[in-house]
Every structure is written in structure tokens, then in C-alpha cells.
Amino acid sequence: GGASAATSADGAAGGDALHALRWRPFPYRVTNPKMRRWIYGGDFVKAAFLAEGLGRPVDGDEWDILWTHRPQHRVLDALDLPPRSGRRLVNHCEYFMAAGDKCALARHARVAADLVDNASAVHLPSFELRDPEQAEEWRRLVLL
């Protein structure tokens, strides 16, 4: 699924834009106990996050990125997560369920584009986090 911003998170100062960020790969609630400690994307995701400076996954509530195999928004809404400045990033989009269906997303985008004046169109920004300038801009927006 796509990425969407949810609740808040704090950032630590200094170093590369991504080095201070913490990620949680473990869902808060699962229906299949085998999925409790399963990391979506497995070793590939762990290696990719490590290569980008995110380090080892965390299991508590002090995370900046929640990377799970299933959406967790309903669970997150029910949790009393500790207050933080900035934002948290969750890898599943539940406000538009067709986000994972590229054909439906393209149709929706075409209809939406036809309904608005392109000069005032609003979009969700995306970032190439390997580009230092884009990573810094993403971090600035996430840690508002």
C-alpha cells in the first residue's frame, strides 16, 4: 500500500536526515499469531532500512515509521500513543483503498484531475529518499 501520515513523532537532531528515525515492523494486532513477528519485506526491507540509516527495528511505541504487512489505522486510532512532535509515517493507505490498485488509482486520478483547475490542484508529495535534498525535505515535512 501507499504511505500516509498519521499521528505525531519526534525527530532527533544531527547527522544524515534518516539516521535518527526509528521503524516498527511489528503490527499491534494480528489475527494469525505467525504474523506477530513477521517483517513485511523480510531481510530485503531490513537491509534497505539499515542501508538508509534506520537501524534495527523497534517493538515499542517510540517509532517514526510503522511498516507492517496489514493496515493498522483502526488499531492506531484506539491506542494512546505517547505524544511526540512532528508526525509518524504509516505504510498503508486506508483513506483511499484503491491506492494499491494502480488501474483504479489511475482512473480516480483522471476523474479528480478533470474536476479541478490544474492551477489549484493539490497532490500528495513523494520523495526519493536516496537523494539527500529530497530526504531532508521529507524529514522537514514529517517532523513539523
Residues 55-90 have pLDDT tens digits of: 788 999 989 889 998 888 888 888 988 887 778 888
At a CB cut-off of 8 Å and minimum separation 6, what does 76 contact? 6, 7, 28, 66, 90
Residue 73 sits at the vertex; the CA angle it makes with 86 and 132, to the nearest 5 degrees, is: 40
User: Three-state SS for 66?
Assistant: strand
- Domain boundaries, position 116: 4-142
**What is the reported pTM?**
0.56
Q: Cα–Cα distance between 89 and 8 in angstroms, integer?
A: 8
Split into its structural domains, the chain has a count of: 1
Q: Tell me, what's the pLDDT at 24?
A: 93
Q: Is the pLDDT of residue 124 over 60?
A: yes
Q: pLDDT tens for residues 2-55? A: 443 333 333 333 344 444 688 999 999 888 888 888 898 899 999 988 888 887
